[in-house]
Amino acid sequence: MQFEPHRIELERVEPFPGESISHFLGRFERANVWTTYQIGRVTGIKAGVSRWKKLYLSPLFPTKQELEVLAELVEVSADRLAEMLPSESQAMKPPGTIYLCAACYTEMPCHLIQWQFKGVNACDRHRLYLLSKCPKCKKTFSAPADWEEGICFHCGKSFFEMVVHQGRVKNAK
């Protein structure tokens, strides 16, 4: 162990259901005014933290041991952290493109890990297609870790206003 959790006063961040590791780490950093570098250093995960924030999880998938060390720091169990990740066998979309159901985000301001799963093109709950880029400026979304205000990083359009741009899934089932 490279840090003593009891000596560090940290704000605990409660995970959202289905939240991605990237989104969670971004919130944890902001709540504690910590940098990615600091988290990487005290946990010994080093550059892994910045990869996870970008959802670059392959080929270096987070190990159980890494999650256990991170769990001590963030006071969220390693099992719960594992739920913020795909299973190791789950195929993922390329990490450079981040997906969004703006309707979900309106209800719970959070990036869900399942949106990055290969083959998931629509939100089951809203029956709306996921967005892969901002409907206004057409640029891809920034890493969920940076979704502090729920707006397009490039043009400032709010995620709430993007719901109308999500195509509706026809022919249910």
The three-state secondary structure class of 89 is coil
Q: Are 96 and 140 in contact (CB under 8 A)?
A: yes
Residue 21: CB minimum distance to Zn ion, A:
20
Residue 62 or 144 having the CB closest to Zn ion: 144
Q: Which residues contact 97 (CB under 8 A, 6 or more apart)?
A: 132, 133, 140
Under DSSP, the state recorded for 46 is: T
Among residues 32, 30, 9, 10, the alpha carbon closest in space to that of 109 is found at 30
Residue 104: CB minimum distance to Zn ion, A:
3
Residue 47: CB minimum distance to Zn ion, A:
29
For Zn ion, the binding residues (CB under 5 A) are 101, 103-104, 123, 125-126, 134, 136-137, 152, 154-155, 157
Residue 164: CB minimum distance to Zn ion, A:
14
Among residues 80, 46, 78, 85, the alpha carbon closest in space to that of 64 is found at 78
